[in-house]
Structure 1
Amino acid sequence: MKMYQIEEVKLFMAQLLLQETFDKFCVSVAEIRTIVPITIKGTMSHDWLSPEDAEQYKELEYIPWKLLRPMVFELIKGKQTPEFLKIQFVHYSADGDCGGLRIQFEAGTLTCLSTYTPAEFSLDRNAETLWDENCQAFLKKHDIVSTQL
């Protein structure tokens, strides 16, 4: 688990909300506090989807960010930044391990926290270390300037 402080908040938020940078992730939960607090549980309701989309996303437990991103953008766009924003991205591996990336904005500070939950308990930390390294590489690949805390 590694935490990074994002240095260029506006550029990061543009990538998060307006570009496809994070679209490969799914969202387990999102919390937004503007004029009212809003919590979005990312568990997909496959019955609500069109038959084509239901087929495309049938293997997913959580909603892809690319489907949720426009809704979140609509909730927070405007002249004021949200008081609080937290998005828990998840990515499942073929063996059931879950890598995560938690984005949190509060009091003008934006952080990213890499998380990793193995499908089965193990003392081996290699997969977790690899996920942390992949998260750091992801930030660098997308020119997201950050400082490890």
Structure 2
Amino acid sequence: MKALKITETKNFMGILLKSDCFEDFLLAEASITTYNTFTIDGHIVPAFYKGDVNVPDEEASYQFSCWKDLQELCFQFIRGKRTPVRFHFTLYLKPDKIKALFASERFNKEHDALPEELDQLVLNIKYQEGSLTLITAVSYHSFVMDKSAERLWDQYMIQFLESKKIFFDSE
């Protein structure tokens, strides 16, 4: 788990809310406090789509909504002349991207396959009192002693942010 303090908040917010930079993520939950607190539960309700043949197969297989599908809504809650009091987004890396990450050479040097206990690769984005922090985390189905998945996820996110010119300080 790493805490990364974003040094250029305005730049990051533009990337988060107006670009496709985070399209490989699902939104588990969001809480945005401006004049009210707006909460989004990212769980998909399958009954809503029952019988709809126009839902892409990729999205129909997810438990959570794609970030890109709720990005504009979050932007609408945040935009304006005043800065939000606070917000918190919990993003999960898409399952196919998790498999690709663990199939990469970086991981295979130490291990054979994706750990069965692994549930989610998590990115928490928190803004409060003028400070914006990203926190990486790994969710498991059960307790594990091996922390190699966490190290890989931390390294991946640092490289991801650097490649997108998102500047940060490690806390």
The interval holding the TM-score normalised by the smaller chain is over 0.9
1:67 matches 2:69: yes
Match in the other structure for 1:4: 4
| RMSD between aligned residues | 1.5
| Residue pairs, 1:126-145, within 5 angstroms | 126-145=148-167
1:48 matches 2:48: yes
The runs of 4+ residues in structure 1 deviating greater than 4 Å are none
Relative to structure 2, which stretch is displaced further, 75-84 or 47-56? 47-56
What percent of counterpart residues are identical? Answer: 28
SS in 2 for 1:52: coil
List per-residue Cα deviations over 1:51-109 (Å, max 9, x = no partner): 32253312100111000001111111111111111000012435553101100111111
TM-score by length of 1: 0.93
| Residue pairs, 1:6-21, within 5 angstroms | 6-21=6-21
Structure 1: runs of 5+ lacking an equivalent:
none
1:106 matches 2:128: yes
Structure 2: runs of 5+ lacking an equivalent:
100-115
Contact 1:5/1:147 (8 A) holds in 2: yes
| Residue pairs, 1:80-119, within 5 angstroms | 80-91=82-93, 92=95, 93-94=98-99, 95=116, 96-119=118-141
SS in 2 for 1:90: strand
How much has 1:22 moved relative to structure 2?
0.8
Counting matched residue pairs gives 149
Contact 1:98/1:119 (8 A) holds in 2: no
Match in the other structure for 1:25: 25
Name the amino acid aligned to 1:67.
Answer: D
TM-score by length of 2: 0.81
Relative to structure 2, which stretch is displaced further, 113-122 or 76-85? 113-122
Name the amino acid aligned to 2:157.
Answer: C
Taking the aligned partners of 1:142 and 1:119, their CA distance within structure 2 comes to: 31
How much has 1:119 moved relative to structure 2?
3.2
Taking the aligned partners of 2:165 and 2:19, their CA distance within structure 1 comes to: 13
